[in-house]
Structure 1
Amino acid sequence: MTSMKNTTLSVLAACVMAASGATAAAVEVGVTIDAAKPGPVISKYVYGQFAEHLGTGIYGGLWVGPDSTIPNTRGWRNDVVAALKALHVPLVRWPGGCFADQYHWRDGIGPRARRPMRINTHWGGVDEDNAVGTHEFFDLVEQLGADAYVNGNLGTGTVQEMAEWVEYMTANGASSLARLRARNGHPAPYKVAFFGIGNEAWGCGGNMRPEQYADAYRRYATFLHPAGDTQFIAAGGHDDDTSWTDYLSQHIYGWGVRAHGISFHYYTSPGADKNGKYGATGFDESRWIETLKQTQRMEGFIAANVAKLDAHDPQKTLMFAVDEWGTWYDAEEGSKSGFLQQQNTLRDGLVAALNFNIFHAHADRVRMTSIAQMVNVLQAMVRTDGARMVLTPTYHVFRMYVPFQDAVSVPVRLANNPSYAFGDVDIPAVSASAARSKDGKLVLALVNTNPHEQADVTVAVGGAGARGATGAVLTAAAMDAHNTFATPAAVAPVPFDAKASDGRLVLHLPAKSVVVVAVQE
């Protein structure tokens, strides 16, 4: 094996091993990249985000209003928007979530001072003043340079209401709703990349059966006529329930009805006990490995649902849209009930990377996802407190993976990949994904799940040699290391590089780390 020259990384790895009591012996894993065998494109929409009217996910975290002393552009926080722009956010899903099926779009247009006050019965029973509505949302996505994924109200709304909202957003010309949109400040039609017909119809969206929802979908979709190239998403299943994908992929079609994808939701937690899902910090190694094991169930869930899609849609016209995913723990102590506010640690960063690698492996079907959520809620990119802002480990992983957006996947084979075990739980020690980025670079992502032992990964690039690799590594001394307003850089990427010998690379992955590199061919 060859050696790697990286003083910064070597010191960091030594500190991590010393802090964890690790031995010097390292796991050796072989990775072969078939760079000459391009696979499906990894859609940029796999890196979508979710912003729901929930807690301070929008109000306070993103929206402060144009009169706020916190610097903003038309009400949206400049600091948060700038941070999110660095992620090249491709897609924002709004207004929910469960909130979508109680949201009436006409409440959120016109002068803000005249908009009605509602009660957000799903999330904390707080007042909803509708300050953020259609126009404000599209202003946000335009500031981010993102596309819009709008969820329509199937639960408490009507076919007419949903159809008129689609017309209001997308119509051009002399339509009365297009003229109303113009009077409200936006003469040009909005681009709606994706439109979801309801959300979680099996639960908060109406407690329906797949058969009921399929009938409702066909009815609603019949009357939706967007002016642009909007893709329609049917509200599918969750966890290990494949019945929704199975039934919908056979029955959501009809005369004049369009369907482009079926959604799926899965949240990762260590498992419930009498006190809830366990804390986001202060956990022991059993909770570390159990969380990583639970998140890797995503692979099996996707495979099982894709099998249903392949049986009924062999042409692969339907995407599998994982439009809610991420970690869900006990709410942060002292936070408001129903606000789903939780800390974000190195463990969450590994969860994000493991899921990305899974999504990449199913790029032919998984063509859109959205993590829950962007700011302050669940597995957020950003946390705020008044005028203060801090970036999370999950944010840093999203930024490290930017080169995978719209990249062409290439096959990766792992050999001699051992298990990392604790107690009676074991998981693969290393996860990997590779792709050819839009600028032609070969990019490789690696995750070392073992919190104690370094992993030595020998990389061979099939069809070409390798001269080296440069990128970044994210790790820390503690499993629950996290950034705070007082210590905002406690968990942050540092440079990583490796040299090659005879066309093969050796990458030394620190314990509990994420590494993303561009391979020099």
Structure 2
Amino acid sequence: MPTCSAHAVVDLDVTGATISKHLYGHFAEHLGRCIYGGFWVGEDSSIPNEGGIRLDVVEALRALDVPNLRWPGGCFADAYHWRDGIGPKQDRPVMVNSLWGDVEENNHFGTHEFMALCELLGADPYINGNVGSGTVQEMSEWVEYLTRDGDSPMVRLRKANGRDAPWKVPFWGIGNEAWGCGGHMRAETYADLACRYATFLHNHDGNTLYRIAAGASDDDLTWTEALMKAVSCLGCTSRPRGLFQAISFHYYTFAGDGISKSPAIGFTDEQYYRTMVKAADIDRVIAAHSAVMDAYDPLRQVGLVCDEWGTWWEVEPGTNPRFLYQQNTLRDALVASLHFDIFHKHAARLRMANIAQTVNVLQAMILTDDEDRLVLTPTYHVFEMNKGHQDAVSVPVHLVEAAPAVTVGDQELDPLSVSASTKDGRALVSLSNLALDTDTTVRLDLRGRAITATRARILTADKPQSHNTPTAPDAVAPADFAVTTRPGAHGSTELTAVLPPHSFAIVELDLA
């Protein structure tokens, strides 16, 4: 097998931005079998559950340290009226989910059930409000219902529905994809609406809201600039108006031919590499949005949020095409590992990211089937292996010698991706070899801190199409990985790792 080498310097004593744990956020929409049949099985199910919430799914996700969960959408958010999902279940009206499969939903999973799910996961709730078909009053009262103490009409309604104490709900999305399914608005029109909604979303009883304005698709900088103009001015040195605290954008990865156009499993080498080129391009997209925001907000008071990201393939044969149920391979896992390295790089501006979606939809962590079996996907394992980066301090990685670039059409792909962070006396280094047929020997000069212990794990398989199934649940699973260390120059430690093709590895270091 061909081999190549790469050399990088990691400065363990040079601190960068903190990698917010919320970059490892998740997304659960009323879409396909994400909620019903995924998270929610109902109190009468034979599957072990707590109040209708499936416990094996919860147990698996708790191992990821899920920091936040976005709900109820997505496009569904702008069709959802929260009052339909509270009170006795038998009294809740049935609604038609015309966006995703034209199916009827009984609203048995609503606000209280979502909050119970977040409590079971230990995750902060991220609620996306209805701007497209809702009203300012509706969303304002939802905030009050959830977060206010004392006495008010919404407080009395919540207590009548069985919850005396308010919840903490920090994250609130002001609509979703207003340029598309959220209303097909112009950027300026939505910017005015976002300011209006934000004005009436109040902090109650110590619950401080982090309001997220719905922003661009991919690199549409028009949206970002319109939203920044609404709260600041070009070249301003003062703080932006505190109407919303972040602006979102969405970014999906595919094989260069558009979403839902190519297979999840039976892809070619060319499609694999085009997928990696598209995944890597999120670096440029984040940098472009950040540059616009820097012009209006040089102190970086307003955060950037990528609250939908992931791969989007053809659905599995025989499934409802609007349920977006796709298989998840090692290729998907490498898209995730590459994204996280890029997210870490931009941690000074990027404050949150949410994989789309958590269960049974798009690039899921978990797949369940009609026999109620549960499969952990390769992407799940990347989240678990990388969780040590959450709220860690990023440290610089300087590539001294790069692995040879892979030519993909008229573009080039750097096949090696690396990021590193430190926290609580430990360091975590993430390494991805995106090449299909080349081992990469990576030499890391670890400088600035003494290393007392080293542990490593790797995620790989015979081919990038490999995936997990109920009968082969560990076809793609982490394994121990051998690395070598020796004293380097000037008190550094030299670490060498031989990364096989299409692999992701982490190295954990105990620091003196």
User: C-alpha distance in 1, partners of 2:474/2:411?
Assistant: 32
- Bigger shift: residues 369-378 or 180-189: 180-189
The count of aligned residue pairs is: 496
Unaligned ranges ≥5, structure 2: 234-239, 488-492
Question: SS of the counterpart of 1:338?
Answer: helix
Match for 2:468 among 468, 479, 483? 483
- Tell me how far 1:116 sits from its aligned partner: 0.5
- Tell me how far 1:420 sits from its aligned partner: 2.6
Alignment correspondent of 1:440: 425
Pairs within 5 Å for 1:88-487: 88-227=65-204, 228-252=207-231, 258-272=243-257, 276-386=260-370, 387-417=372-402, 418-421=404-407, 425-437=411-423, 439-466=424-451, 469-487=454-472
Question: SS of the counterpart of 1:39?
Answer: coil
Pairs within 5 Å for 1:45-84: 45-84=22-61
Output one character per residue of 1:408-457: Cα deviation in whole Å (capped at 9) or x when no partner. Answer: 110111122121335655300100000002x2201100000001111101
Q: Which amino acid aligns with 1:482?
A: H
Q: Which amino acid aligns with 2:222?
A: S
User: C-alpha distance in 2, partners of 1:198/1:240?
Assistant: 19
Note closer, same or farther for the CA distance 1:159–1:263 as it changes in structure 2 (3 Å cut).
Answer: same
User: C-alpha distance in 2, partners of 1:28/1:342?
Assistant: 35
Question: SS of the counterpart of 2:399?
Answer: strand
Q: Which amino acid aligns with 1:145?
A: G
- Tell me how far 1:108 sits from its aligned partner: 0.3
- Tell me how far 1:257 sits from its aligned partner: 5.5
User: C-alpha distance in 2, partners of 1:351/1:92?
Assistant: 21
- TM-score, normalised with respect to structure 1: 0.93
Output one character per residue of 1:121-172: Cα deviation in whole Å (capped at 9) or x when no partner. Answer: 1101000211111000000000000000000000000111111111111111
Note closer, same or farther for the CA distance 1:42–1:173 as it changes in structure 2 (3 Å cut).
Answer: same
User: C-alpha distance in 2, partners of 1:233/1:464?
Assistant: 38
User: C-alpha distance in 2, partners of 1:426/1:27?
Assistant: 17
- Tell me how far 1:211 sits from its aligned partner: 0.4
Q: Which amino acid aligns with 2:418?
A: A
- Bigger shift: residues 109-118 or 412-421: 412-421
Unaligned ranges ≥5, structure 1: 1-22
Does the 8 Å contact 1:286/1:422 carry over to 2?
A: yes
User: C-alpha distance in 2, partners of 1:479/1:376?
Assistant: 20
Alignment correspondent of 1:19: none
User: C-alpha distance in 2, partners of 1:256/1:468?
Assistant: 48
Does the 8 Å contact 1:325/1:370 carry over to 2?
A: yes
Output one character per residue of 1:337-363: Cα deviation in whole Å (capped at 9) or x when no partner. Answer: 200010000000000000000000000
Does the 8 Å contact 1:285/1:422 carry over to 2?
A: no
- Tell me how far 1:512 sits from its aligned partner: 0.5
User: C-alpha distance in 2, partners of 1:191/1:29?
Assistant: 47
Q: Which amino acid aligns with 1:491?
A: V
Output one character per residue of 1:368-389: Cα deviation in whole Å (capped at 9) or x when no partner. Answer: 1100000000000000013210
Question: SS of the counterpart of 2:437?
Answer: coil
Match for 1:516 among 491, 506, 509? 506
- TM-score, normalised with respect to structure 2: 0.94
Q: Which amino acid aligns with 1:293?
A: V
- Bigger shift: residues 470-479 or 219-228: 219-228
- Tell me how far 1:226 sits from its aligned partner: 2.9
User: C-alpha distance in 2, partners of 1:396/1:351?
Assistant: 12
Q: Which amino acid aligns with 1:201?
A: A
Q: Which amino acid aligns with 1:251?
A: A
- Tell me how far 1:93 sits from its aligned partner: 0.1
- Tell me how far 1:190 sits from its aligned partner: 1.2
User: C-alpha distance in 1, partners of 2:260/2:109?
Assistant: 32
Does the 8 Å contact 1:467/1:501 carry over to 2?
A: no
